[in-house]
A and B are shown apart, each in its own frame.
Chain A
């Protein structure tokens, strides 16, 4: 009966009171929710204050401080808490922030955007960097330069065989 890997077994040893509120990692909460051992409430990063800020101006909200994986976390937590509004919130936030990333990535100078970058989540940063690097690669190609590189082994002096 007692099993090292049995999560219920571990938890009984921890003796969590019924009705107590505890913070758990998502993976653990997910498992426990599937066994109907716990019910999950909406995490703090999707609270009313954040929602109002996103409605006001999604592009200026500091989502990274809420959660660096804001969207992924939202996608995973939404079916667990059974809150359809989280998905709507994510989509509307991403739509607006996408446009902001687009204009910043292709037009603005790199120095002007450093403050904006600190607000982005991991996914958004990847998006921004993909745009920046492809544009930089194109400009580098346009500028030209040697098309062939000298291999490092060339030009070395050969040692005499003896």
Chain B
């Protein structure tokens, strides 16, 4: 699958981060009449022509694609505000300006789907891209200051920025930890597989009805993790028939 995360490289793929950002609320101006929608995440609407209302971003994009609404770009996406933020980012070396946690994803989605609703679209887009580049560069320079396992604090980092550096920082901190405390080297493989295998081990004995493949065993293990599930299925197929 295109958007699926690779457990060995990163916890989440960029597509998955975008998926989570789609839950952020955004204001739309509908041009149709519709009753309110009741979702698990809340009730939205009712939708009346020219009356603004707040909906999740995914719903806004879906309605926009069908020509049922206009999206109101959020306050922070104005040219003045973005220019101020860009200047602030360039002036301060260490600190990051406050921006929405999902600013990269929200702006990308709006640029892709609601370009006619954003005033000065090209200006806004280039400002957002400049801010993003400056910030990513700043993250890299602040990572250079790592020299041990002291706690790392970078406030105001956004979801996508964290996601880009997560695999690298995770490994690097682990290595620093190892060299700082050679006595207590964490045996990552053993620790993690041990922890996750224990809950799997217990039901196995109960479920093995003479070596048959019991369907609910596979369903049960799917709840844990995908790669764990495949392990258990493999185990089930391997088990010899005793009867």
Residues of A within 8 A of B (CB): 71, 75, 78-79, 87, 90-91, 94-95, 98-99, 102-103, 105-107, 123, 126-127, 130-131, 133-135, 137-138, 140-142, 144, 146-149
- In the complex, what distance in Å separates the CA atom of A130 from the CA atom of B165? 9
Contacts of A99 in B (CB 8 A): 144
CB distance from A39 to the nearest CB of B (A): 20
- In the complex, what distance in Å separates the CA atom of A79 from the CA atom of B178? 14
Q: Which of B45-86 contact A (CB under 8 A)?
A: none
Q: Which of B6-14, B95-103, B208-216 touches A? A: B6-14
CB distance from B127 to the nearest CB of A (A): 16
The majority secondary structure among interface residues of chain B is: helix
* Cβ-neighbour of B179 out of A71, A103, A133 (below 8 A): A71
Contacts of B220 in A (CB 8 A): none
Q: Which of B134-166 contact A (CB under 8 A)?
A: 136, 140, 143-144, 146-147, 160, 163-166
CB distance from A6 to the nearest CB of B (A): 27
Nearest 5 A-B pairs (CB), nearest first? A141-B14, A130-B167, A131-B168, A91-B179, A75-B182
CB distance from B62 to the nearest CB of A (A): 13
Chain B: interface residue count, which band? 35 or more
Known A71-B175, A131-B167; contact A103-B140, beta-carbon cutoff 8 A: yes
CB pairs A–B below 8 angstroms (7 shown): A87-B179, A90-B182, A94-B179, A133-B167, A134-B10, A134-B167, A134-B168
- In the complex, what distance in Å separates the CA atom of A131 from the CA atom of B180? 22
Residues of B within 8 A of A (CB): 1-3, 9-10, 13-15, 18, 108, 112, 136, 140, 143-144, 146-147, 160, 163-168, 170-172, 175-176, 178-180, 182-183, 185
User: Does A106 contact B140, Cβ atoms closer than 8 Å?
Assistant: yes
User: Does A91 contact B10, Cβ atoms closer than 8 Å?
Assistant: no
CB distance from A126 to the nearest CB of B (A): 6
Contacts of B15 in A (CB 8 A): 141, 147
Contacts of B143 in A (CB 8 A): 102
Shortest Cβ distance from A86 into B: residue: B182
CB distance from A52 to the nearest CB of B (A): 20
- In the complex, what distance in Å separates the CA atom of A154 from the CA atom of B224? 29
- In the complex, what distance in Å separates the CA atom of A120 from the CA atom of B167? 18
User: Does A126 contact B171, Cβ atoms closer than 8 Å?
Assistant: yes
- In the complex, what distance in Å separates the CA atom of A3 from the CA atom of B112? 73
CB distance from A80 to the nearest CB of B (A): 12
Contacts of A78 in B (CB 8 A): 182
User: Does A94 contact B175, Cβ atoms closer than 8 Å?
Assistant: yes
Contacts of B163 in A (CB 8 A): 134, 138
User: Does B108 contact A127, Cβ atoms closer than 8 Å?
Assistant: no
- In the complex, what distance in Å separates the CA atom of A71 from the CA atom of B185? 12
User: Does A123 contact B175, Cβ atoms closer than 8 Å?
Assistant: yes
Contacts of B146 in A (CB 8 A): 98
CB distance from B60 to the nearest CB of A (A): 16
Known A78-B182, A102-B140, A107-B140; contact A141-B168, beta-carbon cutoff 8 A: no
CB distance from B176 to the nearest CB of A (A): 7
CB distance from A59 to the nearest CB of B (A): 13
- In the complex, what distance in Å separates the CA atom of A78 from the CA atom of B183? 10
- In the complex, what distance in Å separates the CA atom of A98 from the CA atom of B170? 13
User: Does B9 contact A75, Cβ atoms closer than 8 Å?
Assistant: no
User: Does A75 contact B179, Cβ atoms closer than 8 Å?
Assistant: yes
